[in-house]
Amino acid sequence: MKVQWLFYGLFALVLFTSTGCSYEGKKNEVTIDRIDAEEILKLDPDADIFQYDGVIYKTNIDWVQELSLTKDVQIGEIKSRIDANTDFKDGMSNKLPVGAKIFSTKERGDILIVEFEGKILKYLAIVEG
């Protein structure tokens, strides 16, 4: 009888620890809680941000700018610019111009490259961990 309870205990332990994480099967994708534009702009009112696929991305992060990254495929573009309101939707930015092109990177799934007016900026996904 003790062996049976030990088996059930180990099974429950494995079940609980394995369901805590998820893998989506996409290249370099990590599933983490998201932070919204309002929270970011409260912490840094001058932040240069945009939203893509429900995630806020921010630039002017020193270590990100120093990375050598390769632009991959275009995945979107900035559709609207919003100055005061923090109710962001996908394709919205607070500083990027409408039409700026958004690209994935070959090396990292949490950094996107944005091109506009001859400029190239790197944006990091801002998530709560």
pLDDT tens digit string along 51-92?
Answer: 999 999 999 999 999 999 999 999 999 999 987 767 889 999
Does position 96 have pLDDT exceeding 60, yes or no? yes
**Model confidence at 126: pLDDT above 90:** yes
Helix (H) or strand (E) holding 113: strand 111-116
Nearest CA to 56 out of 108, 94, 100 is that of 94
pLDDT of residue 28: 54
Is the pLDDT at 39 greater than 80? The verdict is yes
Complete domains list, the chain, with CATH: 30-126 (2.170.150)
- The reported pLDDT for the residue numbered 79 is 97
Under the banding of pLDDT at 50, 70 and 90, the label for residue 8 is low
Neighbours of 119 (CB within 10 A): 9
Pairing outcome for strands 80-81 and 92-93: parallel
Q: CA nearest 128: which of 38, 44, 46, 31?
A: 31
Contact 103, 72 (CB under 8 A): yes
Q: At residue 5, does pLDDT exceed 80?
A: no
Cα 119 from chain centroid (whole Å): 21
For range 7-33, the mean pLDDT: 51
Q: Rank 42-46, 106-110, 124-128 by mean pLDDT and report only the highest.
A: 106-110
